[in-house]
């Protein structure tokens, strides 16, 4: 009986981790069906590999527009016109990443987690293309469903400056 | 005799009380100091917007270059004033972008370059007299200097227009 009881916390933890993780199709399964980049646009992939602070899943904003959530093992992407962009995550603090996007360019932004005062901080990091391409393979697509409020709200423009 | 004994007992009691009182006061003070230290540590270690990257606004002039692109002959390790460090990889090609009052601005597609404080900014390098003097942040349109300019091993690519 004793070994069984020892397994309970492990099972509870695995259940918790699984429920916090992304549930969509894997990038490898989806990569063929991801649309090709429209002309005069660039693509920003945003993904999170870390399970650290799995319960902390802030929304991710691109130039003020919510485009997804920082779900462990999850990814999503946004196609945008060339220009300047800011990726923002908010927990107890705001963490920003500023980047440029050119036409036809694909950029990879990883959401890392660090310890915080009350909750963990999720912060966006611009990674090398090779690193991004490799790390995103096992992540699962997380479609972001906008709430009615967000749909009604006027979308901000793409250009930062 | 009884009076003498009473006096000695009361003195002992007084000593004990003062001693205990002193001990508890000092313990309380130590606890307070400890608590303050923990709070300061936590605030410093993990919370909020504490690491600022010094930036000064500047305008980039896109003066036509005459084949100023170059390759870096040797890897360079840069420690930013924020404490974070960055590597400029050897062999990476840097293309001329323009000029700011503090030097010439170069960008690359061969590696990701960001500078980091509490937030992360994509960056180009600023070179003056063959030395790296700081970074130009294209989204913010600002310059961030480094305290000690670093000599770069520059291999000029004169054939590139």
- My answer on whether B18 and B70 are in the same domain is no
Q: Does the beta-carbon distance from A96 to B137 stay under 8 Å?
A: no
Tell how far CA B149 is from the center of its chain: 16
- My answer on whether B66 and B137 are in the same domain is yes
Within a domain: B107? yes
Within a domain: B105? yes
Within a domain: B94? yes
Q: What percent of chain A shows pLDDT beyond 70? A: 77
pLDDT at residue B95 greater than cutoff 60: yes
Domain boundaries along the sequence of chain A: 2-143
In the block, residue with structure tokens 């005062």:
A117
- My answer on whether B87 and B12 are in the same domain is no
Q: Does the beta-carbon distance from A116 to B139 stay under 8 Å?
A: no
- My answer on whether B80 and B150 are in the same domain is yes
Q: What is the mean pLDDT of chain A?
A: 83
Question: Strand order in B120-122's β-sheet?
Answer: A65-69, A59-62, A83-90, A94-101, B120-122, B114-116
pLDDT score for A54 = 78
- My answer on whether B125 and B80 are in the same domain is yes
Chain B residue whose CA is closest to A102:
B109
The predicted-structure confidence for A109-136, as pLDDT tens digits, reads as follows 999 998 877 778 899 999 999 999 999 9
Chain B residue whose CA is closest to A115:
B46
Q: Could you give the number of structural domains in chain B?
A: 2
Within a domain: B82? yes
**Structural domain harbouring B9:** 1-47
- My answer on whether B43 and B99 are in the same domain is no
- My answer on whether B84 and B138 are in the same domain is yes
Within a domain: B161? no
Of the two residues A145 and A149, the one the predictor is more confident about is A145
Residues of B within 8 A of A160 (CB-CB) are 139
The predicted-structure confidence for B2-42, as pLDDT tens digits, reads as follows 555 555 555 565 555 555 555 566 777 778 877 777 765 55
Q: Does the beta-carbon distance from A116 to B47 stay under 8 Å?
A: yes
Among candidates B47, B138, B141 on the partner chain, residue whose Cβ is nearest the Cβ of A117: B47
Residue A44 neighbours by CB under 8 Å, 6+ apart: A62, A77, A78, A80, A85, A87, A99, A101, A106, A107, A108, A109
Which chain A residues have any C-beta within 8 angstroms of a chain B C-beta? 84-86, 92-100, 114-117, 121, 123-128, 160-161
Tell how far CA B160 is from the center of its chain: 36
Chain B residue whose CA is closest to A92:
B48
In whole angstroms, what is the distance from residue B138 CA to residue B155 CA?
Answer: 24
B37 touches chain A (CB under 8 A): no
The predicted-structure confidence for B98-116, as pLDDT tens digits, reads as follows 999 999 999 999 999 999 9
pLDDT score for A1 = 54
- My answer on whether B65 and B143 are in the same domain is yes
- My answer on whether B124 and B67 are in the same domain is yes
Interface test with B, best of A117, A119, A161 (most B CBs within 10 A): A117
Among candidates B43, B45, B122 on the partner chain, residue whose Cβ is nearest the Cβ of A99: B122
Residues of B within 8 A of A121 (CB-CB) are 46
pLDDT score for A161 = 42
Among candidates B46, B114, B121 on the partner chain, residue whose Cβ is nearest the Cβ of A116: B46
- My answer on whether B71 and B112 are in the same domain is yes
Interface test with B, best of A80, A83, A97, A128 (most B CBs within 10 A): A97
Q: Which candidate, B64, B62, B73, places its Cα nearest to that of B100? A: B62
pLDDT score for A158 = 44
pLDDT score for B14 = 58
The predicted-structure confidence for A14-65, as pLDDT tens digits, reads as follows 555 555 667 788 999 888 888 899 999 999 999 999 877 778 899 999 999 9
Residues of A within 8 A of B111 (CB-CB) are 128
């Amino acid at each position: 009986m004793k070994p069984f009881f020892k397994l309970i916390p492990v099972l509870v933890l695995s259940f918790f981790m699984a429920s916090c993780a992304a549930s969509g199709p894997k990038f490898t399964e989806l990569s063929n069906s991801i649309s090709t980049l429209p002309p005069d646009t660039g693509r920003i992939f945003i993904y999170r590999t870390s399970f650290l602070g799995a319960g902390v899943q802030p929304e991710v904003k691109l130039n003020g527009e919510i485009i997804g959530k920082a779900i462990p093992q999850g990814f999503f992407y946004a196609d945008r016109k060339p220009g300047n962009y800011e990726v923002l995550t908010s927990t107890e603090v705001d963490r920003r990443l500023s980047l440029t996007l050119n036409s036809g360019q694909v950029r990879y932004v990883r959401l890392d987690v660090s310890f915080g005062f009350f909750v963990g901080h999720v912060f966006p990091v611009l990674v090398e293309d090779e690193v991004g391409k490799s790390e995103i393979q096992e992540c699962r697509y997380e479609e972001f469903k906008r709430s009615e409020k967000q749909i009604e709200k006027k979308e901000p423009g793409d250009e930062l400056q | 005799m009884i009076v003498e004994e009473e006096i000695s007992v009361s003195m002992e009691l007084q000593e004990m009380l003062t001693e205990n009182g002193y001990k508890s006061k000092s313990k309380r003070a130590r606890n307070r100091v400890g608590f303050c230290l923990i709070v300061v540590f936590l605030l410093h270690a993990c919370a909020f917007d504490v690491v600022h990257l010094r930036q000064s606004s500047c305008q980039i002039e896109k003066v036509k270059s005459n084949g100023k692109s170059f390759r870096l002959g040797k890897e360079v390790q840069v420690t930013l004033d924020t404490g974070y460090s960055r590597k400029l990889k050897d062999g990476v090609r840097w293309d001329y972008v323009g000029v700011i009052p503090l030097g010439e601005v170069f960008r690359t597609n061969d590696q990701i370059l960001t500078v980091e404080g509490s937030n992360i900014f994509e960056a180009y390098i600023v070179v003056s007299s063959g030395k790296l003097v700081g970074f130009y942040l294209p989204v913010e349109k600002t310059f961030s200097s480094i305290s000690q300019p670093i000599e770069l091993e520059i291999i000029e690519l004169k054939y590139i227009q």
